[in-house]
């Protein structure tokens, strides 16, 4: 568990520095930090927050601020969870207006960032005098219990509500100090009243949090969270008790009701109007909207896509490609959305790293690579069923999978495999010491291995494209031509060949194609990267918006307009009339534009979330 951040509690009478409550949503959590307030909420403070967190929405006038890198679907999920905690019967009216009034008077705010690494340096820049709670998008997992993962929004949003709201409105009951009713219950749960962590806790204690940076007040905040979410059933999913029992043992409603009678009585007392139904992120009384402020002079400000032309592009692409989906990653999670950016759905959590997205030919699976697993895990291959969300690990190489894809006839799966694990030691700082090769296996053989509960190892596959390690070539960016040949030949794979891979100084990268049987390897174009086939099989686009036209063997250029940031990696839509692409360098978003070589080609920004490697489904997903 990461060390918690510190925060300052300010009241009208006294100011003192305390340590925040550590987040306990999983084994490798980021941290929580709560700052209670003096109640001020000046325009200057709001402006200061907007510069750090340009995306925002409100729940009963309680703001949620988010960095530009925070996916919008995660922000909206947090808003829905907050609304459900405060309006559990979802009639559009807060269940306890006193709590909402207290949160507003204390200028309480939820602050969101992409991950802890992005959030941490922002704490030093926050304006003083507000009540803040942080929540990271990486640990915000809608529907996480079904995937065996805890959704930290259920914890961090609740921390803000109880720490600032309930403790302030009902100090004798929810006060985070010795002598309150809930503190007395916590003392019983811990086996005594401790102002420092006992070592060990007394036998029979069921709340045994041992983070030395969490003081007594913090302990109460965490105890309230554990107790209420257990009463609501949030901690009961398979494998959860094993993750949390070193800290909390009463993970079911029955355990709390029978063993911790005192806290159960407090939390279920109707006069306090605490939630009786666990929030699921689907608040029925209102739809929340995200406002984007602009940061003056900041080159990362995104282009406004609300104009008529942009709107028309998004409407037109959705109509022309009805039923098709776009899969993508945000470095941590794999998603699927409609072509106009609506209907964003999380397919798989690949934290701490995930990417290299591709579709199966029947649009049944999305394939990707991820380092999910123990610390220093290599990038292994995975696939997720887009309907059932069943996740399957496909490989256990102990070496990085750099890209992968299934041929359009479903006969082969190819993978680019690096000769090592970039997550171990300092290897990731010098990728020139590695090389990659392409391996391939018949899908029938692979499916037999997977159906038996096993994973691929390199000896299961055959070496497909390679060169001596001393030459330091990288073969990757695999992309199969979705159009099957009509002459009986094998399907065609495009790939890149890079000499001496270095993120800052690549000597050259060329694009090749090869048939699945290993024949007819051809150099298509030099000094191009990231080949992506159009569905007609006649165009192969590249990172810089150029494409090779196979009808006349010419290199041509696509154009898009209306974007202030760099655009790259265009993927042509199934109907052949649009392209989806990445916008920006870091924290990329997705854009849609009409397929044209005209300079005034119009495009629209998809604002749903950040999107790396957006890829079209080869078929409508619902077929």
CA–CA separation, 11 vs 605, rounded Å?
44
| CA atoms of 408 and 371, how far apart (whole Å) | 27
Mean pLDDT of the region 521-546:
96
Instruction: Compute the average pLDDT of residues 113-129.
Output: 85
Q: What integer is the mean pLDDT of 380-402?
A: 96
Nearest 5°: the CA angle 483, 487, 488 is 90
Give the residue-averaged pLDDT of 159-170: 97
Q: Give, as one character, the DSSP assignment of residue 89.
A: T
Q: Give the pLDDT score at 606.
A: 75
What is the reported pLDDT for 605? 72
Question: Could you tell me if 35 and 8 are in contact, meaning their C-beta atoms sit under 8 angstroms apart?
Answer: yes
How much is the pLDDT for 598? Answer: 60
Taking the C-alpha atoms of residue 99 and residue 424, their distance in angstroms, rounded to an integer, is 48
- Helix (H) / strand (E) element for 47: namely helix 43-52
Give residue 375's pLDDT.
81
Write down all domains in the chain, each with its CATH number in brackets.
6-272 (no CATH), 325-550+569-577 (2.120.10.30)
Q: What are phi and psi of 368, to 5 degrees?
A: -160, 170
Q: What would the pLDDT profile of 230-276 be if each residue is shown by its tens digit?
A: 999 999 999 999 999 999 999 999 999 999 999 999 999 999 999 99
Average pLDDT over residues 607-619: 85
Pick the more confident residue, 381 or 623: 381
State both tokens at 113: 């960032």
- CA torsion through residues 378, 380, 386, 391, sign: negative
How far, in Å, CA of 50 to CA of 293, rounded? 7
Q: How far apart are CA 298 and CA 119, in angstroms?
A: 18
The answer to whether residue 495 scores a pLDDT higher than 80 is yes
pTM tops 0.85: no
Q: What is the CA radius of gyration of the chain?
A: 26
Q: Quote the distance between the C-alpha of residue 332 and its chain's center.
A: 5
Dihedral of CA atoms 570, 574, 578, 584 in degrees, nearest 10, equals -30
Place of tokens 């007594």: 216
For 431-469, b where at least 16 C-beta lie within 10 A, e where not — what string?
beebbbbbbbbebeebeebbeeeebbebeebeebbeeee
Query: What pLDDT sits at residue 14?
Result: 21
Residue spans of alpha helices (H) in 90-152: 97-105, 116-119
User: 5-50 pLDDT, tens per residue?
Assistant: 323 222 222 222 222 344 333 333 333 444 444 444 456 667 778 8
Q: How confident is the model at residue 623 (pLDDT cuts 50, 70, 90)?
A: low
d(CA 494, CA 480): 6
Which residue in 84, 150, 85, 152 sits closest to 112, CA to CA?
A: 152
Residue 107 clears pLDDT 80, i.e. is over it:
yes
- pLDDT score, position 421: 87
């Amino acid at each position: 568990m990461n060390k918690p951040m510190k925060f300052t509690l300010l009241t009208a009478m006294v100011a003192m520095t305390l340590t925040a409550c550590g987040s306990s949503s999983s084994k490798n959590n980021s941290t929580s930090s709560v700052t209670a307030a003096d109640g001020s909420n000046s325009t200057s403070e709001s402006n200061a927050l907007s510069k750090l967190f340009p995306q925002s929405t409100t729940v009963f006038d309680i703001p949620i601020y988010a960095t530009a890198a925070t996916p919008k679907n995660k922000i909206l999920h947090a808003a829905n969870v907050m609304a459900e905690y405060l309006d559990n019967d979802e009639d559009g009216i807060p269940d306890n207006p006193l709590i909402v009034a207290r949160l507003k008077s204390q200028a309480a705010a939820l602050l969101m960032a992409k991950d802890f690494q992005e959030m941490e340096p922002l704490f030093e820049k926050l304006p003083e005098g507000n009540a803040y709670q942080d929540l990271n998008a990486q640990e915000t997992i809608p529907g996480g219990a079904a995937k065996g993962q805890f959704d930290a929004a259920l914890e961090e949003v609740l921390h803000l509500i109880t720490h600032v709201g309930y403790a302030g409105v009902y100090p004798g009951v929810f006060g985070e100090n010795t002598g309150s009713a809930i503190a007395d219950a916590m003392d019983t749960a811990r086996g005594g009243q401790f102002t420092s962590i006992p070592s060990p806790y007394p036998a029979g204690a069921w709340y045994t949090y041992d983070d030395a940076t969490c003081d007594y007040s913090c302990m109460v905040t965490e105890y309230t969270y554990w107790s209420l979410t257990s009463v609501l059933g949030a901690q009961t999913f398979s494998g959860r008790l094993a993750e949390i029992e070193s800290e909390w043992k009463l993970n079911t409603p029955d355990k709390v009701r029978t063993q911790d009678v005192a806290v159960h009585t407090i939390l279920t007392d109707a006069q306090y109007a605490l939630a009786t139904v666990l929030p699921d992120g689907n608040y029925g009384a209102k739809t929340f909207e995200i406002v984007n402020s602009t940061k003056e002079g900041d080159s990362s400000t995104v282009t406004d896509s609300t104009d008529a032309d942009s709107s028309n592009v998004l409407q037109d692409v959705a109509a022309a490609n009805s039923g098709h989906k776009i899969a993508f990653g945000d470095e941590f999670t794999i998603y699927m959305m409609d072509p106009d950016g609506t209907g964003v759905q999380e397919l798989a959590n690949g934290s701490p790293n995930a990417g290299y997205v591709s579709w199966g030919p029947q649009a049944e699976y999305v394939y990707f690579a991820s380092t999910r697993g123990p610390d220093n895990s290599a990038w292994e291959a995975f696939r997720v069923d887009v309907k059932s969300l069943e996740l399957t690990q496909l490989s256990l190489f102990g070496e990085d999978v750099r890209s992968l894809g299934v041929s359009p006839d479903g006969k082969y799966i190819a993978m680019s495999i690096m000769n090592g694990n970039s997550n171990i030691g300092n290897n990731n700082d010098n990728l020139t010491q590695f090389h990659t090769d392409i391996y391939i296996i018949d899908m029938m053989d692979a499916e037999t291995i997977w159906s038996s509960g096993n994973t691929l190892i390199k000896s299961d596959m055959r070496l497909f494209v390679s060169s001596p390690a001393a030459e330091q070539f990288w073969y990757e960016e695999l992309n199969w031509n979705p159009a099957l040949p009509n002459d009986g030949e094998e399907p065609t794979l495009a790939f890149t060949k890079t000499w001496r891979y270095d993120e800052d100084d690549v000597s050259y990268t060329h694009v090749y194609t090869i048939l699945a049987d290993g024949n007819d390897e051809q150099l298509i174009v030099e000094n191009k990267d990231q080949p992506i086939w159009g569905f007609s099989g006649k165009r192969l686009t590249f990172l810089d918006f150029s494409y090779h036209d196979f009808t006349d063997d010419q290199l041509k250029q696509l154009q898009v307009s209306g974007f202030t940031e760099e655009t790259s990696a265009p993927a042509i839509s199934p109907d052949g009339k649009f392209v989806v692409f990445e916008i920006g360098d870091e924290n990329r978003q997705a854009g849609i534009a009409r397929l044209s070589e005209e300079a005034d080609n119009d495009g629209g920004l998809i604002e749903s979330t950040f999107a790396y490697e957006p890829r079209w489904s080869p078929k409508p997903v619902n077929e």
